[in-house]
């Protein structure tokens, strides 16, 4: 029986980044615009698309072997998954925001002011657990309520012992809840513009989040699945590395070669070939994009014919192999 790796990627704001990453890693994905079961060119992978909020739990439960979701949802759900790689897209901040005219400096000050006046507190959010943890960590809350949990309110249940501080489940458009439906919000944001347009100000940052590659713990114990997951990890890592690197080619006189080689960083060592013209060598290597402008003055002095291009993939085979071998030993 042919084995297949069950992979899930996120719908919504992270979807385009996940599809782009797969395509840059030479996985052809078709039909994702119309279907939650798109086709992927690797016949050993079954691909599905789900909401990012669901993915950590489904991966932890073994319904999928590997997936892409936001770090915020892994933390919110507390899912027991293997964290494989920060995929460096979908970066957002999870923030506590309150009416802009109030001038709060942090959540503790917000709670102190409301609770000192005897007013109940209502915070709207999709992140019930992370919000509860942060509220309970403040001095203003601990001094008054100790280990009592705030009341979490959803359409299906109420949970918690402290009705004076309520955390209300929001199904989106969280920034629109204050002031009538909530006193403040916990929400994710890229720039803060939407909050600002709704007369809210960021008071405190709870965490930073981005898309992560995660895996089921038991799948990582299965030899075939683990190797297949590390194949995916290798390709994704190659995409991320290639975004940060440049492949450069240049010609150099023999007398300038030692100084040039001491200047050029490389993955291991540059490739050097003798040219047909006596006393000249061709050098090619990989450098960080950020180093090119710094190196350019010396390259202009020492070399000729510099060509730089962006590599499509730089696969860190040894690094991933070490990780894979370490996983087997564990």
Architecture in CATH for domain 245-309 = 2-Layer Sandwich (3.30)
* Whole-number Å distance between alpha carbons of 158 and 147: 17
| Token output for 103 | 């001038």
Mean pLDDT of 122-126: 97
- Residue the block writes with tokens 């892409």: 68
* Whole-number Å distance between alpha carbons of 18 and 46: 15
Mean pLDDT of 236-243: 94
Residues 45-99 have pLDDT tens digits of 999 999 999 999 999 999 999 999 999 999 999 999 999 999 999 999 999 999 9
Is the domain covering 93-209 a CATH 3.40.190.10 domain? Answer: yes
Residue 298, pLDDT above cutoff 70: yes
Q: Do the domains 245-309 and 5-90+210-242 match in fold?
A: no
pLDDT band at 304 (very low <50, low <70, confident <90, very high): confident
CB 62 within 8 A of CB 184: no
Residue 327, pLDDT above cutoff 70: no
Question: Residues with Cβ < 8 Å from 242, sequence gap 6 or more?
Answer: 310, 311, 312, 313, 314
Residue 11, pLDDT above cutoff 80: yes
Q: How many residues does the chain have?
A: 330
Q: Which CATH superfamily is domain 5-90+210-242 in?
A: Periplasmic binding protein-like II (3.40.190.10)
Residues 183-223 have pLDDT tens digits of 999 999 999 999 999 999 999 999 999 999 999 999 999 99
Residue 328, pLDDT above cutoff 60: no
Residue 157, pLDDT above cutoff 70: yes
Kindly state the percentage of the chain with pLDDT values over 70.
95
Residue 330, pLDDT above cutoff 80: no
How many Cβ atoms are within 10 Å of 119's Cβ, its own excluded?
Answer: 11
Residue 47: is it exposed, middle or buried by C-beta count within 10 angstroms (0-12/13-18/19+)?
buried
Residues 20-51 have pLDDT tens digits of 999 999 999 999 998 999 999 999 999 999 99
Structure confidence at residue 196 (pLDDT): 94
**Every domain of the chain and the residues it spans:** 5-90+210-242, 93-209, 245-309
pLDDT band at 9 (very low <50, low <70, confident <90, very high): very high
Q: How open is the CA angle 204-209-212, to the nearest 5 degrees?
A: 170
């Amino acid at each position: 029986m042919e084995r297949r790796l069950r992979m899930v990627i996120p719908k919504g704001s992270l979807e385009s980044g996940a599809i782009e990453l797969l395509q840059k890693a030479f996985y052809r994905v078709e039909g994702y615009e119309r279907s939650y079961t798109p086709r992927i060119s690797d016949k050993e992978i079954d691909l599905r698309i789900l909401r990012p909020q669901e993915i950590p739990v489904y991966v932890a439960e073994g319904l999928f072997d590997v997936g892409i979701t936001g770090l915020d949802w892994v933390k919110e759900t507390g899912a027991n998954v293997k964290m494989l790689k920060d995929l460096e897209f979908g970066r957002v901040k999870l923030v506590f925001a309150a009416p802009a005219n109030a001038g709060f400096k942090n959540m503790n000050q917000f709670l102190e002011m409301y609770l000192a006046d005897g007013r109940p507190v209502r915070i709207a959010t999709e992140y019930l657990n992370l919000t509860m943890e942060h509220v309970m960590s403040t001095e203003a809350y601990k001094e008054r309520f100790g280990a009592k949990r705030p009341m979490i309110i959803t359409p299906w249940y109420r949970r918690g012992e402290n009705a004076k501080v309520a955390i209300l489940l929001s199904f989106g458009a969280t920034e629109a809840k204050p002031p009538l439906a909530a006193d403040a919000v916990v929400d994710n944001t890229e720039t803060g513009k939407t909050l600002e347009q709704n007369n809210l100000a960021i008071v405190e940052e709870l965490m930073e989040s981005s898309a992560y590659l995660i895996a089921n713990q038991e799948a990582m114990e299965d030899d075939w699945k683990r190797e297949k997951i590390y194949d995916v990890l290798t390709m994704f890592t190659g995409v991320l590395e290639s975004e940060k690197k440049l492949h450069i080619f240049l010609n150099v006189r023999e007398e300038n070669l030692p100084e040039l080689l001491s200047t050029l960083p490389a993955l291991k060592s540059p490739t050097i070939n003798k040219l047909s013209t006596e006393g000249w060598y061709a050098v090619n290597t990989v450098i960080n994009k950020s180093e090119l402008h710094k190196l350019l003055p010396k390259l202009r002095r020492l070399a000729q014919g510099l060509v730089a291009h962006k590599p499509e993939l730089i696969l860190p085979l040894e690094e991933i192999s070490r990780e894979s071998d370490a996983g087997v030993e564990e």
